[in-house]
């Protein structure tokens, strides 16, 4: 019985901590500085109705990967930036590093490989 209460209390504590980090701002890089240094800059162009966008955000958040979210539905300037700079009008668009890798759509394996390639290039 006590173990069950502990599990429920731990789950509630984790949920509250997660909500606090996500609610902090659209810049989702509010993680521990050591974690942020392990990853290149990541920006995602997203829209609230996009299931793939939600999957990207969930993956990055659950793996403590810092990122900046740019909602093209809420900010027309982001849509224009995405269209002109990345030649895309479909979301999600994931930008890794300083435009070193641009992914259209989200496949976990492709994302992981792109991050590794950018990190390897940055070490040189």
Q: How many helices (H) and strands (E) does the chain have?
A: 5, 4
Which residue reads 């521990």 in tokens? Answer: 32
Confidence tier at 14 by pLDDT (50, 70, 90): very low
Least reliable range by pLDDT among 5-9, 46-50, 95-99? 5-9
What's the predicted TM-score (pTM) here?
0.72
Render pLDDT for 85-114 as a digit per residue (tens, 0 to 9): 999 999 999 999 999 999 999 999 999 999
Contacts of 25 (CB under 8 A, 6+ apart): none
Confidence tier at 38 by pLDDT (50, 70, 90): confident
**Would you tell me how many other CB atoms lie within 10 Å of the CB of residue 66?**
21
The full set of domains in the chain, from first to last, is 27-123 (3.40.30.10)
Q: Which of 58, 62, 86, 82 lies closest to 70, judged by CA? A: 82
Q: Which residue has the higher pLDDT, 76 or 31?
A: 76
């Amino acid at each position: 019985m006590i173990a069950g209460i502990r599990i429920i209390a731990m789950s509630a504590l984790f949920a509250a901590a997660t909500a606090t980090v996500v609610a902090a701002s659209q810049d989702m890089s509010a993680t521990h500085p050591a974690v942020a240094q392990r990853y290149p800059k990541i920006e995602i162009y997203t829209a609230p109705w996009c299931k793939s966008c939600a999957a990207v955000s969930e993956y990055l958040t659950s793996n403590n990967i810092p990122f900046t979210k740019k909602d093209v539905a809420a900010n027309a300037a982001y849509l224009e930036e995405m269209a002109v700079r990345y030649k895309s009008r479909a979301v999600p668009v994931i930008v890794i590093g300083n435009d070193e890798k641009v992914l259209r759509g989200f496949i976990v394996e492709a994302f992981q490989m792109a991050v590794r390639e950018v990190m390897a290039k940055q070490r040189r």
